[in-house]
Structure 1
Amino acid sequence: MASKQSEKLIIAYKAVLGELGANPDMPLPDVRALFEHMGDVTAEPGGIDFIETAAAGVPAMWAVPKGCTEDRVLLCAHGGGYSFGSMYTHRKLYGHCAKTIGCRALIVHYNRSPEHPHPGPVNDMAKAYRWVLDQGITPNHIAVIGDSAGGALAITTLLRLREQGLPMPAATMPLSPWLDMDGGGASFQGNKQVDALVAREMLGDMVKMFLGENGNRHDPLVNPLHGDLRGLPPAYIQVGGHEVLLDDSRDLAEALRRADGEVKLDVFPEMQHVFQFLAGAAPEADDAIAKLAAWARPKLGL
């Protein structure tokens, strides 16, 4: 049974949907401001310095836990449908991840759609990765992590790096990845009544901003399920059991296995989309992040 504390995320998601429903013509800056409060449910991790920087011209934020191993780095892609969310909304979440693993995190504030449609976000993530390499961090000491749209970027960034001839990082950790722009998974219908945030209509609007009216939804840098996933680093996927996007995670795990990849998939019963937002506030989120750390530390040589 889900904890009482986990209900905080359901309340937060319903509040966002309520505001959007009451104001269907809300301007994009106001919608973004609304989503900036998503990080409010995350407890302050404490013991972390947050330092804003620029990674090859892309705004970013370092999360540096006290006493961490500084030559290991999490490269973090925030969620928000490629149009919302920021390094600020996800500062605390990825701070918790970095602190539990014992390394630094670089949270990339990639340029968002519709001002910067595809392939803007994935190109910015690749720029940030190359910049981390230029700081003297070796590829085997880097892990990529992302949630929702950022969960897709945790895979598509690898495909872009391969195109550019760059070495692969040690690992990748997609959290509740959003891959299928058509919403074709059976979980879209099966979890429709229990997912507190994601709905087909919302995703349709985000797709239009990200790809335009005629963008290619089957571009592997949009949906990596249509790409060649051979040779990618080990992947650890986490997803909530009540998500309409549950099948995206299952399909990704199966595709990676077919490509002879190392993959671990954990489905957390009754959990919502990116329930890790509740880090420090709900036991399920803390358990998930502890599992991420236990898996990632040996991959990073910690």
Structure 2
Amino acid sequence: MSLAMRMTRTFLRTRPNVFVTEGRLREALRQSRHDAPVPAALRRSCHVSTEVVDGHTVTTVTPKSGASGTELIYLHGGAYVRPLVGPHWSIIATLIRRTGATVIVPLYGLAPHYHADDAYKFLDSVYPAVLQRAGHNPVFLAGDSAGAGLVVGQAIRCRDEGLRPPDGLLLFSPWVDVTMTNPGIAALIDLDPMLAPAGLAAAGRDWAGARSVTDPLVSPLHDTLKDLPPTYIYQGGHDIFLPDVERFAAKAQAAGTHVDLRVWPTAFHVFVGAGWTREARQALSDAADHIKSGTRN
């Protein structure tokens, strides 16, 4: 473990964990929060455009020089209840800098006011437009935490509805089962400085809306995971999502889907957002290599 990782993890332990109980999560959600704006540095190096699609903001970021033609849709995490934050822009900026990809950031509606079905309806407008603009160029889906779960759900829909699939999925600490019932979670609770099962399970119920929490479009671990695009997962070992991520990878591989799971044993949840750490740089460099390859393995 790098010194930067150790210091960051220590700092995170000083921050309140809003997921410890459902009550604490509800209290935190009563405080008004807004999506972090596009950083000035990213505006200097990229063309940034914003439009409203079906009532939600979609931001498109294209490098001013070295654009590759590759398109990447990035769905942010936050347990489906919290907005995009600064570290998400850090991840996006690094991927743009390393790949030349145009990144599309759809700000889907958050629970409890919006549900999974609302997000997929929104993506029904966003995804085809990206495909059309990309033409024959590669299109990737990427996301962290809850956003990564939504990425897999969208890939499942592409498969089931006969749509052009993305060329690959890049998943950073994905939330693949909102039930939080995996018995392996218990051993990681004291190691995880950011997450806890009770609040997350409540957020997952809110997100499911009229669907079951085990519906594959809410908890993609419960899909067959057959015939999905090549999937690249970057996971921390001190993250309570690890047991479900390992199940997801094993199930997908057994179903014939190409999955590459890389685990940093002492890293925390969505450690790729801590770009000052060696571990984050390694993970994002590997993800960028897959984007640049633009191939289905």
Q: CA RMSD in A?
A: 3.0
Q: Is the 8 A contact 1:63 1:91 kept in 2?
A: no
Q: Is the 8 A contact 1:185 1:247 kept in 2?
A: yes
What's the counterpart of residue 153 of structure 1? 150
Deviations 1:138-160 (A, max 9, x none): 36510000111111112100112
Displacement of 1:53 in angstroms is 2.6
Q: Is the 8 A contact 1:44 1:92 kept in 2?
A: no
Quickly say closer, same or farther: Cα 1:9–1:59, change in 2 above 3 A.
farther
State the one-letter code of the partner of 2:163: L
Deviations 1:118-146 (A, max 9, x none): 22223323431112123x21365100001
What's the counterpart of residue 255 of structure 1? 251
Aligned mates of 2:156, 2:258 — CA distance in 1: 16
Aligned mates of 2:98, 2:129 — CA distance in 1: 24
Displacement of 1:11 in angstroms is 2.2
Aligned mates of 1:4, 1:159 — CA distance in 2: 37
State the one-letter code of the partner of 1:78: H
State the one-letter code of the partner of 1:288: A
What's the counterpart of residue 270 of structure 2? 274
Aligned mates of 1:59, 1:247 — CA distance in 2: 34
Unaligned runs of 5+ in 1: none
Q: Is the 8 A contact 2:19 2:198 kept in 1?
A: no
What's the counterpart of residue 195 of structure 1? 192
Q: Among residues 250, 265, 271, which one is paired with 2:261 in the alignment?
A: 265
Q: Is the 8 A contact 1:139 1:170 kept in 2?
A: no
Q: Is the 8 A contact 2:17 2:194 kept in 1?
A: yes
State the one-letter code of the partner of 2:144: D
Query: Is 1:230 aligned with 2:226?
Result: yes
Q: Is the 8 A contact 1:241 1:271 kept in 2?
A: yes
What's the counterpart of residue 69 of structure 2? 71
Deviations 1:34-71 (A, max 9, x none): xx67x9xx996673343323356541112223323252
The alignment of Structure 1 onto Structure 2 pairs a total of residues equal to 293
* TM-score computed with the length of structure 1 as normaliser: 0.85
- SS at structure 2 position matched to 1:30: coil
- SS at structure 1 position matched to 2:116: coil
Q: Is the 8 A contact 1:14 1:197 kept in 2?
A: no
State the one-letter code of the partner of 1:255: K
Quickly say closer, same or farther: Cα 1:110–1:84, change in 2 above 3 A.
same
Aligned residue runs from structure 1 range 1-302, under 5 A: 1-5=1-5, 7-8=7-8, 11-12=11-12, 14-17=14-17, 24=24, 26=27, 28-30=29-31, 32=33, 47-55=45-53, 58-86=56-84, 90-134=88-132, 136-138=133-135, 141-212=138-209, 215-279=211-275, 281-299=276-294
Deviations 1:170-220 (A, max 9, x none): 1111111112222233441121111001101221221232125x7401211
- SS at structure 1 position matched to 2:267: coil
- SS at structure 2 position matched to 1:64: strand
Displacement of 1:113 in angstroms is 1.3
Quickly say closer, same or farther: Cα 1:156–1:139, change in 2 above 3 A.
farther
State the one-letter code of the partner of 1:191: L
Aligned mates of 1:20, 1:218 — CA distance in 2: 22
Q: Is the 8 A contact 1:6 1:282 kept in 2?
A: no
- SS at structure 2 position matched to 1:17: coil
- SS at structure 2 position matched to 1:121: helix
Aligned mates of 2:144, 2:125 — CA distance in 1: 19
Quickly say closer, same or farther: Cα 1:244–1:110, change in 2 above 3 A.
same
Aligned mates of 2:268, 2:61 — CA distance in 1: 25
Q: Is the 8 A contact 1:70 1:103 kept in 2?
A: yes
State the one-letter code of the partner of 2:277: A
Quickly say closer, same or farther: Cα 1:27–1:240, change in 2 above 3 A.
closer
